[in-house]
């Protein structure tokens, strides 16, 4: 039997954080690639990508 997603509000919060981190990372990559945002070093973007992947893995583990 599968659990209803509404029974675990923590998953909804994690998915919201995952989505927000993914959007912020994508916007930063586009701005840096277009040359509008040069002050952010590459390792900050790599860290954001790793955080986003980590949140996705944690959310996936909680759902299984």
pLDDT in tens, 22-50: 888 888 888 888 888 888 888 888 888 88
pLDDT at 7 over 70: no
Do 55 and 18 touch, CB atoms closer than 8 A? yes
**Calpha distance 63→42 (Å, rounded):** 32
Q: How far is CA 12 from CA 4, 19, 42, 50, in A?
A: 11, 10, 30, 20
Higher-confidence position of 61 and 23: 23
Amino acid 64: pLDDT: 65
- Rounded Cα distance between 26 and 34, Å, is 12
The whole-number pLDDT of residue 5 equals 53
Mean pLDDT in residue range 5-33: 77
Task: DSSP letter for 37, please.
Answer: -
Q: Where are the domains of the chain?
A: 9-63
């Amino acid at each position: 039997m599968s659990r209803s997603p509404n029974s675990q509000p923590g998953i909804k919060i994690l998915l919201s954080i995952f989505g927000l981190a993914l959007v912020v990372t994508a916007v930063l990559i586009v701005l840096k690639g277009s040359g509008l945002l040069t002050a952010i070093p590459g390792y900050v973007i790599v860290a954001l990508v790793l955080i986003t992947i980590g949140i996705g893995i944690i959310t996936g583990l909680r759902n299984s």
